[in-house]
Amino acid sequence: MSLRSSPVTSTPSPASAQHECVISLGTNIEPEHHFAKALEILSSECELLARSEAVRTAPVGFQQQPDFLNAALVVRTTLELGDFKAYLKEVEHRLGRVRGPIKSGPRTMDLDIVAWDGEVVDDGYFHHDYVRGPVDEVLAVLKRPN
């Protein structure tokens, strides 16, 4: 798998605090379309540092659904953690995410913060290969320890 780095898309003022965030992406409703749209939105609204290739994975939990495309991104933002979490939920909503009764059910997009400023904040990294693999890929390209 290869990783692509992107140029800076916007430069915040020097007084703005910069936070680095590793995001896990997952989609299994029109996955190629929603993956491309999420990448387009996030790379235009954040500073995209790196992305993994998308990998197809079998569903975890609820099995009667299509396979997922999973990937990871590293972005830089001036938002604080809570505001960035809310921003990602808003991006999911813009991509048509509807939260149904089955937590592990199908979705147009799932965006989770895995690491914030170098610290793992989502235990999914330790328990799920579909999270850990793409995250380790982007960290390796950025020459960051996992």
**Known active-site residue 94:** no
**Known active-site residue 123:** no
Which candidate in 51, 97, 122, 132 is catalytic? 97
Q: At what angle do helices 81-94 and 31-45 cross, to 10 degrees?
A: 140
Which candidate in 4, 51, 107, 117 is catalytic? 107
Annotate 30-94 with DSSP letters as a single string: SHHHHHHHHHHHHHHHSEEEEEPPPEEE--SS--SSPPEEEEEEEEEESS-HHHHHHHHHHHHHH
SS3 121: coil
Beta carbons within 8 Å of 10's beta carbon, 6+ residues apart: 47
**Known active-site residue 110:** yes
Which candidate in 51, 94, 110, 132 is catalytic? 110
**Known active-site residue 136:** no
Which candidate in 4, 51, 83, 112 is catalytic? 112
| Catalytic residue annotation | 97, 107, 110, 112
